[in-house]
Structure 1
């Protein structure tokens, strides 16, 4: 009986290895907790401070301010359950936007182009920089703050 348990265990290990090598969605699942992910906020506003507050279920980075051309980045490991989520509230002058800056999903990582999600605030909206293609994609428009 012991020999058959060992054979089953070896079989499962081989299947897991093959699945991670040939299925991108499976390898994405296996990478959880093994690699670090990053979020970077970049202020590309012309001569305006960018105010923001980023949070997760467990972390609150507090109110922050970035000068023009300033950057802020943090790194983290996603949790095993795939529920890691960070969101931010951004504002400058009378404009604001609130959205998820990181979700532990294969689709979201694809949008980022990898493990670094780089968000750039510009006058006409907030862009996500795709690392592999080196392109900025407008993801969010600014909304006017109601007085």
Structure 2
């Protein structure tokens, strides 16, 4: 017992420093559908064949048609974003951490187990990235 010197309090009622300005922060925006689809196609270019890319571009063109599936889903995301501080966080938590049945550190965020890197130049970054990819592929070979 603190002998009356300290008042008991619920920890949840004391805002941490990181929460002090939470209200002033903007909500997570929903990127425009066009931007999302363009970035998706750009990300696929280096990792799929020309034939697969062509087929995917056709599917994306169908998806982005006015009044189509993409527009309806985009409107749903925008409605969700108006109602929530962060329209993505609960989905991310559930999908990336709670539903995933493999070790989270290795399979979702390897950066937390790697030592801090200080690169002197772009060549060093590329060398490190190549070694990291090689290690990931070796690991994938072991578990497949």
TM-score w.r.t. length of structure 2: 0.21
Q: Which has the higher helix share?
A: 2
Which of 1 and 2 has greater Rg? 2
Q: Which has the higher strand share?
A: 1
